[in-house]
Amino acid sequence: MALLIKNGEIVTGDSRYVADIWCEDATITRIGRDLPVPPGAEVVDATGKFVFPGFIDPHTHLHLPFMGTCAKDSFLSGTRAAVAGGTTTVFDMCCPPRSAEPADGLAEWMKKAAGRACCDYSFHMGVTRFDAGVEGQLRQIVAAGIQSFKIFLAYQGAFGIDDAELFKTLRLARELGVVTAAHCENAALITELQQQLLAEGKTGPEWHHASRPPRVEAGGVHHLMMFAELADAPVYIVHLSCREALEEAVRGRLRGVDVRIETLIQHLVLDKSAAERPDFEGAKFVMSPPLRDRENQSALWSALAQGLADTVATDHAPFDFQTQKTLGLGDFTKIPNGIPSISERIPLLYTHGVCTGRLDLHSLVNVASTNAAKIFNLFPRKGTIQPGADADVVVFDPAWRGTIFHAGQISAVDYNAFEGFEVRGRAAVVTLRGQIAARDGSPTGPAGRGQFLARS
């Protein structure tokens, strides 16, 4: 069905104007003022609203076997929550353990998503070990359209790789022209700090931060910068959380390292005091890298405004508080890591970024959509509004006011990390390739409309 979006204020990463958008055959085919309404077309009146390109979340975990359990959302529930919040494309982390073959891992993730996803999707291919057999599989995976790797400088024995594997992965990435996303910490040092804290009887979730302090993350970034520089390979730092890590990444960039920086909505609006709540409530907020002191937030917001940081993601990793986070009762190292946020990213970013003057509207679009599309080879199919682009559009109502509550949320997890947060603005209408996928915060239409995005 053809779709006409009328009278909205179109905002992209570099332009802003009032016009109509005509969508046909899944793409934007015409943009102009006072476009006629053809017979049978569906019309969305966007008067008084912003019209953004569909938002892209470059970092999710909709399927994640981890720490003895599995993330609570599925590709169905997680992507329903995504489109309700204005996200039309997700990049899920395909993370098979070291004992598994990459090709088998990708097949598992593909099977979980096919016929269930309600938004478009691609994957970052986890490299959790590197040998001759893995290299051959990675070459085939890249040829099939997975144009990014994911590595962990953490989680020793599960996902983490050693330095030789790191260097070989980066060299292969450079040869194949793909980006390597990296979780930057230091696995051995974290293990030692954890054991020391537990031996001292410091077992609650409030001690998670002390086992992974800012210098450990900054050291991981420094380590990655050295290897990326020597391999001459592009890298993408995921979930950067603190000033010290940001400084190391910027130093690498000044030396010529091709490095892009992602931060998370959690690190922009929550701080470490959340993980210090009594009666084990802090476990809801255990993630890695941890929530930091509030003073780090100004550095992250400034980095986004100045273009030093490139994207805002969610690292959406939903684990139930009652049945999964409690695995770490008496031992914080066993709390499944992750804070769910796939629906809340855009309203929180608009409320705490645009409405406070920290970001302008163009920066919002860039850090939540356009930059990810460019970094991961989807632009201009995704991440912008122009003829020929996919008709992924968010009609955003800046006048709407509301409060975030767990009750009624779409994600399957049993709590909301932003409970009670007041927000300004929400997605009034969300389209996926020209079909309405959500209205007023609720997904519409059948499941399974999301498509796998092969990138080249």
Domain contains 33: no
Q: Is residue 37, in this structure, part of any structural domain at all?
A: no
pTM of the model: 0.97
The reply to whether 386 falls in a domain is no
Residue 350 lies in domain: 54-375
How many domains does the chain fold into? 1
DSSP-assigned letters across all residues of 146-174: --EEEEESSSTTTT---HHHHHHHHHHHH
Please indicate, yes or no, if residue 120 is contained in any of the structural domains.
yes
| Terminal Cα distance for the chain, rounded | 29
Residue 8 lies in a domain: no
Residue 5 domain flag: no
91 occurs within a structural domain: yes
β-pairing, 87-94 vs 69-70, is unpaired
CATH, residue 130: 3.20.20.140
Q: Is residue 213 part of a domain?
A: yes
> Do β-strands 65-66 and 42-45 pair in parallel, antiparallel, or remain unpaired?
unpaired
State the pLDDT at residue 102: 97
pLDDT at 1: 73
* pLDDT tens, per residue, the chain with 456 residues: 799 999 999 999 999 999 999 999 999 999 999 999 989 999 999 999 999 999 999 999 999 888 889 999 999 999 999 999 999 999 999 999 999 999 999 999 999 999 999 999 999 999 999 999 999 999 999 999 999 999 999 988 789 999 999 999 999 999 999 999 999 999 999 999 999 999 999 999 999 999 999 999 999 999 999 999 999 999 999 999 999 999 999 999 999 999 999 999 999 999 999 999 999 999 999 999 999 999 999 999 999 999 999 999 999 999 999 999 999 999 999 999 999 999 999 999 999 999 999 999 999 999 999 999 999 999 999 999 999 999 999 999 999 999 999 998 999 999 999 999 999 999 999 999 999 999 999 999 889 999 999 998
So what's the pLDDT on residue 81?
98
Position 239 scores a pLDDT of 98
Q: Which two tokens stand for residue 228?
A: 């990326």
Task: Give the Cβ contact number of residue 361 at 10 Å.
Answer: 19
Beta-sheet pairing, 422-432 with 435-439: antiparallel
CA dist 416 and 394 (Å) reads 23
The reported pLDDT for the residue numbered 456 is 83
Task: Report whether 29 contacts 23 (CB < 8 A).
Answer: yes
**Number of C-beta neighbours around residue 330 at 10 A:** 11
pLDDT of residue 156: 82
Cβ-contact 397, 380 below 8 angstroms: no
Query: For residue 157, what pLDDT is reported?
Result: 77
| Interatomic CA distance for residues 385 and 373, integer angstroms | 12
CA distance 259 to 305: 17
Please tell me the distance from the alpha carbon of residue 210 to that of residue 290, in angstroms, as a whole number: 9
